[in-house]
Structure 1
Amino acid sequence: MSIDAKGFALILSLALSSTISAAAGSAERPDAEYAVAQREKLQSARMAIAQGDRETLSRLKHELADYPLLPYLDYWALSKKLSQLPYSEIDRFLEEYRGTAIGDWMQVKVLRELGSRQRFRAYLKYYDADKVVRTSLRCYYADALSRHGDKTEAYQLVEDLWLVGHSQAEECDPVFARWISDGGLTEDLAWRRHMLAVEAGNLDLAEYVARKMPPEKAALAKIARAVHRAPEQLLDHQRFLSNKPEYREIVLHGIARLARASAEDALTAWRHYDAGYLFDDKERDVLLREIALNFARQDNLDGLRQLVQQSDNFSDERTIEWLARQAMRELDWAQVDFWINRLPETARNHERWLYWRARVLEEQYGSSRAQEAAYLYRRAAQERSYYGFLAADTLGQNYSFVDRPAPINARAVEEMSARPAMQRARELQAIGEFYHARREWDYATQGMNHQELLTAGKVASAWGWYHKSIRSVLAADYLDDLELRFPLAFADIVTDVSRRMGSKSALDPYLIYAVARQESHFSHDAKSGAGALGLMQLLPSTARATARRAGVDFRRNWDLLSPSTNIALGSFYLSTLLNRFDNNRILAAAAYNAGPTRVAQWLKETRQQLPYDVWIETIPYSETRKYVQNVLAYSVIYAYRSGTNLPLLRENEATTRL
């Protein structure tokens, strides 16, 4: 994000700084006024760069000599005149900042400039294959290498760039043309890319590639595209039985396509072709999984059962779990037992299936196998999870939190926080340069060992950068420090909002924490692919409608990056869902993720027949199922973190059939 381009960043940073600092406790240094003054000078220096005012820039750089973001002034100044290709300045910058975030960013900028201007000899000097991953820059490199370097190496890279099922960046076109002119495009490479394009549904690209094939191969390619468009042709089995290896690929792809329209027809076709083509185990497994998935999508439970039962070696875990859940939905406990026993042993011993194995024993055998069921519940209850908490509730025992702070000493935290890259990340966050801040943090932490990651997590927590704290301990694979994994982030805001809104619904601070933790890991500037923003991941349209009812000031989409605004609007929306669904947090959480209309439809389909645990386990969307389970479990953990005992389910939730 560029402050100059976006305009709002400095204003936003000022609005956020007091909120984030208060929540973090120690996020601001004691000399807060000095820090603010330095940040203002940085903005003035950026303005001087934009205006070409070298005198002012020189003076401000001198005054900012001890400021962590001083290197960024060099970066911005060089970026402004990069089109002039001042090689000596570029070399000095890259040498001085080698291995840093801005050093690597500058290298990418230089390569873009050189490639676009076809300065290929210079391009070879600045290219580093270990660092560059962008396709456009790799294409420039192949072009440069084919002109001024090792052509064999260049064309090997071109083959890698060629073999994709989508159109490559336009920067690839010149080197592709030279490679083809030099005879690099073989019949096999053309066919392989054609089929990749067909499998990806990019038929225009496939037709383009087919025009580069000899007539006989092009005819086969045409058949492949025809089967993609109308896979039911495969039901005329004699047409596609051939010794040519291309037909094998066509049939495999066509059956997978046919399964999307009719899994039953696809299975019929498969049985005819399997014997004729002698597909290997890997091909068989992949295709049977695709057919199974589409049986499930088409709600053809009988067909799916037959496929699994008639295929002795078929043991796709996801398919078997789906069948177990369908049996649960029908409350057919014998079938639940049958399918769970088809799962691999590692899966059956996961707390999820330990819990359901115990439930099966209770439902089928009652008290006669109560001891066996209790043993399975006890094993599941050892885990700090949704299923562990369910099992503990069933046994009437305390939850297993396993809260063990990571072994981190204060000296290590102090030394870590003083590292230049860490200081740069902190200051970039403070001035609203969130993208650059994340990149600096990622560069600073890449390659860290276990202990360093834990220390970095502690630093991030102290700075109120909670999502980096969480991700650092996850990267260190240390899951038992609940203070770092489940921070009481923005506690004053959460407490105030829950106090004001909780009187109108079952909203409590633990549910707010749980939703924010699940939605964004407490990243106040998070943005989803769908456009949801902030801590509680609100769509601007939802936020706008909610703001009018909640009486919360909401003028611009970027207001959702303010923790106070986002938590207020997200909590109010969550409160309305609780009111709509009779203060049932199960349904409210599902509606927050999947939308209230879908939840209402799911309730209509089940007609209040299912116990709460079965209803949750059989939520049609796996994402929503996991979301609900996490929110419920996280609520328990946040109550524990706040010094409160909270059951996984309230009485109305545990006794209501859904």
Structure 2
Amino acid sequence: MNNPSRLCLALLPFFAPAAAFAGFDGDLLTARDAARANDIPRLENIANTAPRDNPLSLYPAYWLTQKALEVQDDAQITRFLSVAREGVLAERIRRDWLKQLGKREDWTRFAEEWPKLAEEGRDEEAQCYGDVLAMRQGAAPANLNRFLEPRPLGDGCNRLLALALEKGAVTRDWALRRMRLLLSGNYVTQARQLAALADLPLDTGSLGAPLKASPGTPAGQETLLYGIVQKGRDDVNGAAQILSGRQDELTPAQRGFAWGQLALFAARKLNTAQASEWFARADKSQLTRDQWEWWARAELRQDRQEALQTVIRAMPEDIAARPAWQYWLGRSLKRDGKATEANALFARVSAGHHYYGLLALDELGNAASEQGDTARPSEADINRMSKDPSVRRSLALFALAQDRNRADFRGDAQVEWRYAMRNRTDMELLAAADMARKIGFFDMAIYSAERTRKEHDYSLRYLTPYRDITQRFARQLGLDDAWIYGLIRQESRFITIARSGVGASGLMQLMPATARWAARKMGLGDKIAINDIETNIQIGTWYMKYVMDNLSGSAVMATAAYNAGPGRARNWQDVRPLEGAVYAETIPFNETRDYVQKVMANASWYSTGMGREKLSLKTRLGTIPAR
């Protein structure tokens, strides 16, 4: 393979002379290390002497300004923003500064800076402060129902809710519902704060032993409700017995909330009959998106088609419109002989380039990928992207990361690249994707290629680097290399130095303990280089084969096992055979469900791109045998 850093430099004609660029490398590494060590004088010196013709010259000043944010040095922040008027570095500093200004309630300066932050650069916390500003200026609040989920919020969003309560933009009942959701997630501190702010009933003195709270007051009732829901996390049947025996001590709204929570716990444990019964007792107006979806999954897993249709049609419109429920509603209608209505739903879903789109194509009788002609960008598109400042910085950072084996600079390169891809035409995206592919920046090649809307290049969306190695081990083990590629694409996006938060490494994201165990089984010994490309693929494919052989030869179960462990994959089987798509849909872990669906969809696209026999995704998912 070509040297990626050399290719980066070849794509960067502004790096002249090359020696000047190389000379700044050392300063850049020193500057980052100085920032980490809080050596402000050294960092300041490098920032002030950085060569202005270097694409990375602003990074030392950026790190210096991050330090200024920590001590609220507004002068340094404004100096930096006066020089870095655009780009992701300026955006990040401005966003963090705005959040600081909002917290300090410096609304005059906040109002000056807020319009300068692009919408794409606003995170939830910054947006909340922006919404506070808008309300202070007399505007109606943004959609606050997005906070009706069992999750805590940052300072800005809590300030927004406080202002909304003060101005009467949300009702006390709305606040009561949020308090219950916070308690259901065991976010007790924020629940206490909200109760105090909105004067909500909550016996805070009994929260340590909530089942002993007195139900003679509204505050005691809310605390008792909290106790029942918390017990349901570990003992859902015991909680249901308590709720059944003490229902008269709670209001209808409290009972309805409790049954909805216990139904969710039961559904996630795949106790689907219980879940169906308890969801039917729930207060539908208090159900979250997660609860609606698990109600539908419970009916789907039991093959209760009429109930499934009823639940999907009762869902709030934004939930029912999601591809999953449009697809499953279509499947249910098709079984009822309502082909016209079903096909209309399948046609709508099939327009999406995703798992449900492929399944919908199967139902319409279309191949998973008549991929069509590959779109080719023009020279003008290529030149435009190669001259983009953020692309240039990204390529320079990638070259530095490769030369110095520094994953932190590779992360910076990704940030710059993503910023550069905003609001691009399809052809500009494809030009950038091909540029990234040529230098081995595979994850960003995929990132750009999969953002196109009408013009596509599937060879860039579904790259096949290291093909000789992968196919060799696939043949030795009798595995489908399209499935292997589907898994690698989801695991690492072909980043050889990828490392997860839990310590998994390399292309196939092997956990060290699993890799050592597999290596011993394979006769490779204990001394393995887990990030070596060939070793990582060899061990990863062996483990894929091992778990598949131990899980009835099911690629779907093996994929679930690769992510969540073989024991869990077995536990998710049913007492009767399940269609593979139903098994995948009802995996209790959100991460694993999404993972399995994406890996199997990837495998379908790879299979087509490799010119293999057409195999529908539904067929590929197969049937999961009974437990």
> Which bin holds the TM-score, normalised by the shorter protein?
0.5 to 0.7
Q: The residue matched to 1:131 in structure 2 has which SS?
A: helix
How far residue 424 of structure 1 moved from its aligned partner, in angstroms, is: 1.8
The structural deviation recorded for 1:470 is: 2.2
1:335-376 residue CA offsets vs partner (Å, 9 max, x unmatched)? 22332332345555555334433443454x4xx555655565
Q: Give the distance between the partners of 1:631 and 1:78, measured in 2 at CA.
A: 41
267, 275, 294: which is aligned to 1:296? 267
Deviation, 1:637, is 0.2
Between the aligned partners of 2:605 and 2:461, the Cα distance in structure 1 is 10
Counterpart of 1:321 (choices 269, 293, 299) is 293
Distance 1:411 1:545, change over 3 A: farther
Which amino acid in structure 1 is aligned with residue 581 of structure 2?
Answer: D
* Pair 1:91–1:287, CA change in 2 (3 A): farther
Q: Tell whether the 8 Å contact from 2:449 to 2:460 is kept in structure 1 after alignment.
A: yes
- Partner of residue 537 from structure 1, selected from 498, 509, 517: 509
1:456 maps onto 2:432 in alignment: yes
Could you say if the C-alpha distance between residues 383 and 411 of structure 1 is closer, same or farther in structure 2, counting changes exceeding 3 Å? Answer: closer
- Higher relative CO (CA 8 A, sep ≥ 6), structure 1 or 2? 1
How many residues align? The count is 527
Match for 2:209 among 230, 242, 248?
Answer: 230
When the two structures are superposed, what TM-score results if normalisation uses the length of structure 2? 0.67
Q: 1:471 aligns with which of 447, 453, 460?
A: 447
Q: 2:601, 2:617 within 8 Å by CA — same for their partners in 1?
A: no
Partner of 2:590: 622
Change (3 A) 1:416 1:100: farther
Could you say which residue in structure 2 is the equivalent of 1:176?
A: none
Name 2:398's counterpart in structure 1: 426
Structure 1 residue 492 displacement after superposition: 2.5
CA contact (8 A) 2:368 2:604 kept: no
Q: Distance in 2 between matches of 1:568 and 1:87?
A: 44
Contact in 2 for aligned 1:354/1:380 (Cα 8 Å): yes
Partner of 2:537: 567
Cα offset for 1:320?
A: 3.0
Q: Does 1:241 align with 2:215?
A: no
Distance 1:86 1:286, change over 3 A: farther
Aligned pairs for 1:481-520 within 5 A:
481-502=457-478, 507-520=479-492
Counterpart for residue 550 of structure 1 = 522
Offset at 1:273?
5.6
State the AA in 2 paired with 1:237: P
Q: CA 1:474/1:274 → structure 2, altered by over 3 Å: closer, same or farther?
A: farther
Q: Kindly state the Cα deviation for residue 405 of structure 1 after the two structures are TM-superposed.
A: 4.8
CA distance in 2, matches of 1:271, 1:403: 64
Other-structure match for 1:69: 25
1:439 match: 412
Alpha-carbon displacement from aligned partner over 1:397-443 (angstroms, at most 9, x marks no partner) = 42355557566334543564465413422312323112112213413
Q: Please, which moves more after superposition, 306-315 or 223-232?
A: 306-315
1:264·1:295 contact (CA, 8 Å) conserved in 2?
Answer: no
Check whether the contact 1:403–1:482 (CA below 8 A) recurs between aligned residues: no
Are the equivalent residues in 1 in contact too, given 2:327–2:349 (CA < 8 A)? yes
The alignment status of 1:642 with 2:615, answered yes or no, reads no
Q: Deviations over 1:149-186 (max 9, x none)?
A: xxxxxxxx9xx9xxx98999xxxxxxxxxxxxxxxxxx
Compared with structure 1, are the counterparts of its residues 478 and 465 closer, same or farther at alpha carbon in structure 2 (3 Å cutoff)?
Answer: farther
Aligned-partner Cα distance in 2 for 1:358–1:199: 33
Contact 2:519 2:539 in 1 (8 A): yes
Residue 530 of structure 2 aligns to a residue in which SS? helix
CA distance in 2, matches of 1:509, 1:546: 20
Task: Give the conservation status (yes or no) of the 8 Å contact 1:532–1:538.
Answer: yes
Distance in 2 separating the partners of 1:450 and 1:509: 33
Residue 588 of structure 1 is matched in structure 2 by 558
The CA distance in 1 between the partners of 2:8 and 2:570, in whole Å, is 54
| Contact preservation (8 Å) 2:443, 2:494 | yes
Unaligned runs of 5+ in 2: 82-91, 107-125, 130-150, 156-178
Instruction: Report the alpha carbon displacement of residue 546 of structure 1 after superposing the two structures with TM.
Output: 1.3
Shift of 1:319: 2.2
Q: Which moved more, 1:93-102 or 1:635-644?
A: 93-102
Cα pair distance change 1:312/1:427, threshold 3 Å: closer
Cα deviation for residue 543 of structure 1 reads 0.8
2:164 maps to none
| 2:161 equivalent in structure 1 | none
Secondary structure of the 2:542 match is helix
Asked if structure 1 preserves the Cα contact closer than 8 Å seen for 2:488 and 2:507, the reply is: yes
Contact (CA 8 Å) 2:260, 2:279: kept in 1 or not? no
In 2, the alpha carbon distance for the partners of 1:380 and 1:536 equals: 31
The separation in 1 between residues aligned to 2:488 and 2:46, in whole angstroms, is 43
Aligned partner (choices 131, 142, 160) of residue 93 of structure 2: 131
Higher-Rg member (1/2): 1
Amino acid at match of 1:449: N
Residue of structure 1 equivalent to 2:581: 613
1:461 to partner: Cα distance? 1.7
Verify the 8 A CA contact 1:593 1:627 in the aligned structure 2.
Answer: yes
Mark the runs of 5 or more structure 1 residues left unpaired by the alignment: 1-21, 36-60, 146-156, 169-193, 211-216
Q: Deviations over 1:17-66 (max 9, x none)?
A: xxxxx2xx68464899x99xxxxxxxxxxxxxxxxxxxxxxxxx998324
CA contact (8 A) 1:524 1:563 kept: yes
Please give the alpha-carbon distance, in whole angstroms, between the structure 2 residues aligned to 1:71 and 1:416. 28
**C-alpha distance 482-263 of structure 1, shift in aligned 2 (>3 A):** farther
Task: Return the offset for 1:229.
Answer: 1.7
Distance 1:585 1:267 in 2: 42
2:31–2:42 contact (8 Å) kept in structure 1: no
Q: Deviations over 1:266-309 (max 9, x none)?
A: 6987885657xxx9xxx999888645534535748557645545
Amino acid at match of 2:516: R
1:18 is matched with which residue?
A: none
With over 3 angstroms needed to count, the CA separation of the structure-2 counterparts of 1:477 and 1:105, relative to structure 1, is farther
User: Cα gap change, 1:93/1:553 in structure 2, threshold over 3 Å: closer, same or farther?
Assistant: farther
Which of 348, 351, 367 in structure 2 is aligned with 1:398? Answer: 367
Q: Describe the SS at the equivalent of 1:322.
A: helix
Structure 1 segment 181-220 matched on structure 2, within 5 A: none
CA deviation after TM superposition for structure 1 residue 324, in Å:
2.6
Please give the root-mean-square deviation of Cα atoms over the aligned residues, in Å: 5.2
